Structure 1
Amino acid sequence: MSLAAETREAVRARPFVRDALRAGLVNHSAAASWLAARADLDGDPDAIAAALRRFREDLPAYETEARTASVSMRSGVGIADDPTEANDGAEGDGADADPLLRVGDAAVVEGGDRTAILATGDVDAAALADALGRLGAAEVEVAAAGVAADALVCVVSRRDGASAVRVVEAALEAVPVDER
């Protein structure tokens, strides 16, 4: 494989570098040195920098788009390994409601000490990925997250609920567009 192909592969394995290249925010020499060390690229840093510059020319410009979605907060949720057991003995109080999110045998259910951020509308995996990245940058720990159809869910601690709503709303105002 050529050094240029190895460089492209190394960038694709590190989406933040690809996004920075697309946005024009990269010092190519610094990125080349970093990739040489982190991705074990065997080549001259100047050649890697040149490969980065050529790759940048092939990438679409970094753009975002606003999404139309309603964001709300639902307190008092938990994550149950077996949601049927979590609901035992709680008839009539909403415990039999469908979970907000289910992955395998685990589910986000009513009754717990966490808060679910629910966005409904024009949401998808790109919106979730951006929201998760922003929540991580804001040091908000996400216990569970998922997206399906027109719903996106992020479960955070009760203490972080209000901040998480603001972060998710901001993410939905500028979801990165990846045109290929």
Structure 2
Amino acid sequence: MSLAAETREAVRARPFLRDALRAGLVNHSAAATWLAERAGLDGDSDAIAAALRRFREDLPAYETDPRAASVTMRSGVGVVDDASDGDGNRAGESLLLRVGDAAVVDGGDRTAILATGDVDVAALANALGRLAAADVDIAAAGVAGDALVCVVSRRDGANAVRVVEAALDAVPVDEN
């Protein structure tokens, strides 16, 4: 594999670097040195930097689109490991999210941030990235249909609502 192909592969394995290249925010020389050290690229850093510049030209520009969604907060939820009563439901509890036998249900000390409307995996990924950057721990998260759920600690609830709203206002568009 050529150094250019290895460089592209290394960038694709690091989505943050791909996004930064798309946005035009990368110091190519510094990124080349970092990739040589971290990704084990075997080549001159000037050649890696040149490959990054060429790759940048092939990438679509970084753009965002707002999403129309209503964001609400629901306190008193929990994450349980055994969410089934044999019929696939927990008696008397509303399931917000289910993955295998684990579920987000009423009755707990956490808060669910629920966004309904124009949501998808890209919106969830953006929300999770922003929540992580805001030092908000996420106990569970998912998206299906027109609903997105992020479960956080009760004390992080209000901040998480603001973060998710901001995330939905600027969801990255990936044309590639």
Q: TM-score range by the shorter chain?
A: over 0.9
Name which of 116, 128, 141 aligns with 2:112.
116
Name which of 134, 139, 143 aligns with 2:135.
139
Distance 1:95 1:63 in 2: 45
- The one-letter code sitting in structure 1 at the alignment partner of 2:128 is L
Answering whether residue 138 of structure 2 is matched by residue 167 of structure 1, we say no
| Runs of 4+ more than 2 Å apart | none
- Structure 1 equivalent of residue 6 of structure 2: 6
- Structure 2 equivalent of residue 19 of structure 1: 19
Answering whether residue 149 of structure 2 is matched by residue 153 of structure 1, we say yes
> Structure 1 residue 84: deviation in Å?
4.0
Mark the runs of 5 or more structure 2 residues left unpaired by the alignment: none
Answering whether residue 100 of structure 2 is matched by residue 104 of structure 1, we say yes
Distance 1:165 1:155 in 2: 11
Distance 1:26 1:105 in 2: 43
Q: Is the 8 A contact 2:67 2:170 kept in 1?
A: yes
> Structure 1 residue 96: deviation in Å?
1.8
How many residues align? The count is 172
- The one-letter code sitting in structure 1 at the alignment partner of 2:42 is D
Aligned-pair Cα RMSD in Å: 1.2
- Structure 1 equivalent of residue 76 of structure 2: 76
Give the fraction of aligned pairs with identical amino acids, expressed as a percent: 83
Mark the runs of 5 or more structure 1 residues left unpaired by the alignment: 86-93
Answering whether residue 48 of structure 2 is matched by residue 48 of structure 1, we say yes
> Structure 1 residue 83: deviation in Å?
2.2
> Structure 1 residue 98: deviation in Å?
3.3
